[in-house]
């Protein structure tokens, strides 16, 4: 499963669910958007963000998240950072499920660049 972001001019960015889950969670915790706007973007069919909302999102990610994550590092939903590469282990124990989700620096940098270049609304699929 993945989330697809798409601009009106047809540019698209696909982010896998393991990375998107953390990105979505940190935006949720910051309360950048109302639950009815941001909540549906957790899964497929999430609607869109208008130009002002995209600008709000990219400024938060670019200024408040990206500087704290160095190349090669991953961010967990609780804000902790690791430099240990993801080895693909799928954690099944209830207490360890959170370990399946981490936002890689490179994925975040790609999302910031994509959103920064958007010239209008961004659709979420």
Span 54-113, pLDDT tens digits: 999 999 999 999 999 999 999 999 999 999 988 888 888 998 878 889 999 999 999 999
Domain locations in the chain as residue ranges: 2-120
pLDDT for 80 equals 95
Confidence of residue 45 (pLDDT cuts 50, 70, 90): low
pTM: 0.92
Q: Could you tell me the pLDDT band of residue 33, with boundaries at 50, 70 and 90? A: very high
- What is the reported pLDDT for 105? 98
Positive/negative CA dihedral, 88, 26, 62, 47: positive
CA distance 38 to 88: 28
């Amino acid at each position: 499963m993945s989330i697809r972001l798409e601009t009106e001019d047809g540019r698209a960015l696909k982010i896998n669910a393991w990375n998107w889950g953390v990105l979505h969670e940190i935006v949720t915790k910051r309360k950048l958007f109302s639950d009815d706007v941001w909540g549906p973007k957790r899964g497929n069919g999430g609607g869109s963000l208008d130009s002002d909302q995209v600008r709000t999102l990219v400024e938060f990610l670019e200024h408040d998240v990206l500087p704290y994550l160095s190349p090669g590092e991953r961010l967990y939903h609780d804000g902790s950072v690791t430099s240990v590469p993801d080895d693909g282990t799928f954690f099944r124990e209830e207490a360890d499920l959170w370990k399946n989700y981490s936002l890689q620096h490179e994925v975040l940098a790609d999302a910031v660049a994509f959103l920064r270049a958007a010239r209008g609304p961004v659709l979420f699929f």
